[in-house]
Structures are given as structure tokens and as C-alpha cells.
Structure 1
Amino acid sequence: MEQFSLDAFSLAGRVAVVTGGNGGLGRAFTLALAAAGADVLVPTVADDGGETRALVEARGASYDELTIDLTAPGAPRQVVERCLATYGRLDVLVNSAGISLIGDVESFGRARWDAMVALNLTAAFELSQECVPTMRAQGGGKIINVASLFSVLGGRGSPAYAATKHGIAGLTKAYADELAADGICVNAIAPGYMATPMTAARRADPAASQVVVDHVPAGRWGEPEDLMGAVVFLASRASDYVHGHVLAVDGGYLVR
């Protein structure tokens, strides 16, 4: 049996695209991949004043940023072309860009539904599709989708969020089934309740926050840093035989 080495987790010489990678959970993914050695391209609509760039470069990695609306026609191809023009290769795609618009069943209109489906699901579908020829030609690659607890739960207050995250889980499995033979690993990370700007209002309400904590065996909200090990694992050679898996990083939420 071949001896295992921690070098299997290294991303030195690899290039990653992380959508929405300069804010929220996306920044945690970006910094983790950079710390493991990957150069990173971040397609984004948000300007963070160069903060993420500085953090990536402090980790010894290269950073490129592309201001783009991923839901616009042709945007996914532009992302791949920019990555290849800048770095000459594309090894890892993390589909982390997403939005969550709230509303009950009766008030949740088509405009909010369409906006969430376009970014949370369709953009991930199209960008993954655009990456496949390059990854196949390189002999493999890693596609990591960002799912959610609401890939398996109901998601009260946002029917579109639950629907798109269920869709992400299905997309992950469908792509994995088709692409595994090409050495392209397609998996997903399902974060639990995380302390991000998206959850700030709930965390600021002591009673609402406690409802979450009471359901989490770990007894706390997750932090973006809790996802870093998972994304490095799924992006690295250490996970080369992992295909179509949705990895919950939720403090045990789903077991209670």
C-alpha cells in the first residue's frame, strides 16, 4: 500500500475560481485555498476595497478579481476565459455566490424567485459546464458547489432558497455521475447556521439565536473558518475518490 502524505492536501500550482469569494463564506473558501497554495480568481459584484486581495497575497498566493454579473448572458464563459488568460489553467471551481430573499409562501413573488434561481442555481450550472472542457483537457479537476441544510430541509420563509439548494444537491450528483470517469470530482459543502452578514439579524435577536443554538449539538453558531478544512479537502488530491457527496458542516444540526 502506498504511504500517505500530507502533500495530498497541498494546492501548490493549482488555480481556483471562487464565485463571490471576497465576502461571507466565499472569502473563507478563498483564504483557505490560498493558504493551501492555490492562486485564486474571484468573480464578484461587490468591491471590498482590496481587503481580500491583501489577505490572499499575505498567504503567498496570487489574486485576480473580475467584476461581473454571473447571471448575465455569456458571463460564465467570460470567467473561464479570464482565468485561462491570467493563469493558463483552471483546477478548482467553487460555486459559492448566492442570495437569500425572504418571504412567506403567499407573498413570495416571481421576481424574487427568478433572481434566486438565476444566481443560486443557473449560474452554478452554467459555470460548471464551461469549466468542464478545460478540466477534461487537463486530466481532471474539482467542482465544489455550496449547498445548505436546506438542501434537505424545508426552509420556511424562503421557498426559492430551499428549492435552489435542493437543486444544487441534485446538480452535484448529476454532474458527478457523468464526470467522474474524466477525473473531475463534483461535490458540495452544506454549511449549517453560520455567523455571516446574511444571518446578522437573527443572531442579533437573542431568542431567535437561541432557537438555533439549542438545535446544534455543538452548541454554537458556525464560523466561516469552520468550512476551511472541508473546502481544502474537496479541492485537493486527498479527495480524488470522493464523487457526488454533499458534506454537511453544521455542528451536528442534521442529526438532532
Structure 2
Amino acid sequence: MSSDTGTAFAPAGDIGAVGRPPARGRLAGKVAVVTGGTRGLGLAMATVFLEEEASVICAARRSTTLTELAQAHGDRVSVETVDVCSAESVRSLMDRVMQRFGRVDILVSNAGVSRNGKIVDLGEREWREVLDTNLTGAFHCTKYVVPCMETAGGGRIINISAGMSSRVAPGAAAYSASKAALEMFTRASAVELAKKGILVNCIAPGFVNTGMYEPLRDDERLRSRYERMMVSGRPGEPWEVAAAAVFLASAEGSYVNGHVLEVNGGLLWS
């Protein structure tokens, strides 16, 4: 499926070949925090946010240097370490962002992991790792970003789910359960935070040319199996998911709240 984690995203000038529209400065002056933001789909969203003129904090467990983005966008991009499973780590991240920028306008909770295994074989450690990262991590980020967004007069929270939140696959119990729960957490958050001027939505990507889809690309048998499910006849490009995130984060998405937006080109499942 799509990826919250994955290999390094293509350079900014090579973000995808399918009719990508030009940036229009829709996030100018905004400050965005993207967890899992140094690779895969998270880096794709960070890249497009930067091109839409936001300042972006790419937060991840491991520190890295995003040389090309830094060269292109200067001090509007930075990398911060965070463990979303730790409430204290997330609180510290938000404190550092506030000290530097004085506000947070956009949060993308994208950090996530997948541990495959049928229920009778799945270890408790693996189960907890998936739930703690994919669900509790989003809870921590939401909880500690709210005061930052109140300072800014409101904000946008975008949680990253997956097509498998609503489709059954053997061996994906932990991942699917975490993403299904994340979608309900999104709806609950939207109800609770609306009066604070904070909109909360969710994106559920299908097969996207990064991260978890990459092993399928290299396995002809698996690729042919999953390609039959793609109504559009192709996997998505990372920028296409990022474009949906820009819509939800910008003024264009001002009347969308508590919604799960599937970005999958039409995805069959059996």
C-alpha cells in the first residue's frame, strides 16, 4: 500500500511524471510539522509544502540532512528528531518548534510502521509497536499541537491512514486495525477541536510509488496481482497524495472536517 515510511523521495525537480500542476503559494507563511518527514511519502508531502511556500519541520526518529531541500528552500526547512510513541518526545518537539516559529499551522501525522504476521503468529511486541506508532503516535501529536495551533488562531491536522484501513488482507491485522482506529480518532478529534478553529482530516492512500509499494514493483507475481486492483491502471505518484494534503491544509479545504479522503485512483479489493 502507501507508505508512511520508505526510501528517499525523488529530488524536487523529479517528483512525478503524471501531469503535475505548478505550485501556487497556497501555504505561504504557514508552519507545518510532518512526522516521518525525512523519507517516503512524508518527504514527498514536506517537499510539496515547501514548494507551496510553507516552512516545514521534517520530524523523524533519526536525524538526517536533507541537502537538496535545504539548498532549494534555505531555513524554511529543518529536521528535528522525535519518537512519536513518547509523549515527552512529542511535547519537546512542539516546544522547539514554538521557540523557533512561535506557531504551528499544519500537522501531518504520517509516522508509521507495518509488521506483517497472521494473528496466531504475531508477537505482542510487534502488535504494540504498530499500535503505539500508528495510533498512539497520532494521539500524542494531536494533543501537544493543539496549544500551538490555538496560539495561531486555528490550524489543520492531517492524519495519514491507508487503503487497508477498510480492506481485509491476511497477515495485516495489526496494521489494518491501527489505521481503522486512526480514522475514527480523526473523526472524534474533528468534533472536539472544531470550536478551537482546528480542522482534522485524514488521507487514505492506495498503492503509491514509494515506500511499501517498492517491494511489489520488484516482484512480478505480486505486482501483477495488485495491478488488477488498480482501476486507474497504475499506482499513484507521491505528489498526488501530497496534493491532497495541500488541499486539506490550505484555504481551499476550509469547509472539510472529519473526512477520510481516499487517494487511490479507484481501488478494487477481493
TM-score (norm 2): 0.86
Please point out which of 177, 181, 188 is paired with 2:195. Answer: 181
Partner of 1:44: 60
Q: Partner of 2:267 in structure 1?
A: 253
Q: Give the CA deviation at 1:179.
A: 1.2
Instruction: Report which stretch shifted further, 22-31 or 59-68.
Output: 59-68
State the partner residue of 1:27: 43
Distance 1:175 1:201, change over 3 A: same
Q: CA deviation at 1:251?
A: 1.2
Alignment of 1:81-100 (within 5 A): 81-100=95-114
How far apart in 1 are the matches of 2:242 and 2:73?
Answer: 14
Post-superposition Cα deviations, 1:187-233, rounded to whole Å, max 9, x if no partner, equal 01111012223222222111211111111111012221221210111
What is the letter of the counterpart of residue 148 of structure 2?
T
| 8 Å CA contact retained: 2:103, 2:151 | no
- Aligned residue for 1:251, secondary structure, equals coil
Match of 2:244 in 1: 230
Identify the match of residue 121 of structure 1 among 126, 131, 135: 135
Q: Does 1:62 align with 2:76?
A: yes
Distance 1:120 1:182, change over 3 A: same
* Structure 2 unaligned spans of 5+: 1-22
| Corresponding residue number in structure 1 for 2:171 | 157
Which structure 1 segments of 5+ residues have no match? 1-6
Aligned to 1:4: none
Distance 1:121 1:29, change over 3 A: same
Count of aligned positions: 249
What are the Cα deviations for residues 112-146 of structure 1, in whole angstroms up to 9, with x where unaligned?
A: 00111111110111111111122123221000000
Is 1:241 the equivalent of 2:255? yes
Do the aligned partners of 1:147 and 1:189 also contact (CA within 8 Å) in 2?
A: yes
SS state at 1:248 partner:
strand
The answer (yes or no) to whether the contact 1:192–1:249 under 8 Å persists in 2 is yes
Alpha-carbon RMSD across the aligned residues, in angstroms, is: 2.1
State the percentage of identical aligned residues: 38
Decide whether aligned partners of structure 1 residues 42 and 111 sit closer, same or farther in structure 2, where only a CA change above 3 A counts: same
Gap change, CA 1:78 and 1:155, over 3 Å in 2 = farther
Residue 22 of structure 1 aligns with an amino acid whose one-letter code is: T
Instruction: Give the C-alpha shift of residue 59 in structure 1.
Output: 4.3
Specify the code of the residue in structure 2 equivalent to 1:46: R
| Structure having greater relative contact order (Cα 8 Å, sep ≥ 6) | 2
- Runs of 4+ aligned residues of structure 1 deviating over 6 Å after TM superposition are none
Q: Aligned partners of 1:36, 1:114: CA distance in 2, in Å?
A: 36
Q: Distance in 1 between matches of 2:120 and 2:70?
A: 44
